[in-house]
Amino acid sequence: MSLTPPACPQCGLENTYADGDQFICPDCAHEWPAQAEASEDDAPAGDGIIRDANGQPLADGDAVLLIKDLKVKGSSTVLKKGTKVKSIRLVHDNGDHDVDCKTDQGNFMLKSVFLKKA
């Protein structure tokens, strides 16, 4: 294993650390196994696949769960951890928010790092 942990595969920041047999990114809360590091190096960077917080590929129409409470910018609305969102739509060209969805509280653009496949 290398002396310095690799950059986060989710957000690309280098503020990561090893915790037992996995790496953790404190910036986006992404965790990934240390032994999977070699297999991820084989995949091209920026392969265009949108992945959830656990590294699972997402597709249009998938159902996902929120992994943390999310405050809606410019509003007092909070999307609660564990909220199930059905029928997501992936957006590949809209900055860092890559999932378009509809909840009971309205339509939102979310980052895939805060979702896990249901």
**Whole-number percent of the chain with pLDDT over 90:** 36
d(CA 78, CA 63): 19
- Which pLDDT value is given to residue 66? 93
CA distance 67 to 82: 6
**Domain over 1-46 is classified CATH 3.40.50.360:** no
- Give SS3 for 68: coil
**Least confident span in 4-8, 103-107, 110-114:** 4-8
Q: Which is higher by pLDDT, 66 or 41?
A: 66
What number is the average pLDDT over the span 39-66? 78
Question: Which residues have C-beta within 8 Å of that of residue 23, sequence separation ≥ 6?
Answer: 5, 6, 8, 16, 17, 31, 32, 33, 34, 37
Please identify which residue in the block is written with the tokens 């992404």. 30
The domain spans of the chain are 1-46, 64-117
> In this predicted model, what pLDDT tens digit does every residue of 40-52 receive, in sequence order?
444 444 567 889 9
**pTM of the predicted structure, to 2 decimals:** 0.59
Half-sphere exposure of 105 (CA within 13 A, CB side): 14
Task: Looking at the structure, give the CATH architecture of the domain made up of residues 64-117.
Answer: Roll (2.30)
- Summarize pLDDT for 14-40 with one digit per residue, the tens: 888 888 788 888 888 888 787 654 444
Instruction: Indicate the average pLDDT of the chain.
Output: 82
Cβ atoms of 24 and 16 closer than 8 Å: yes
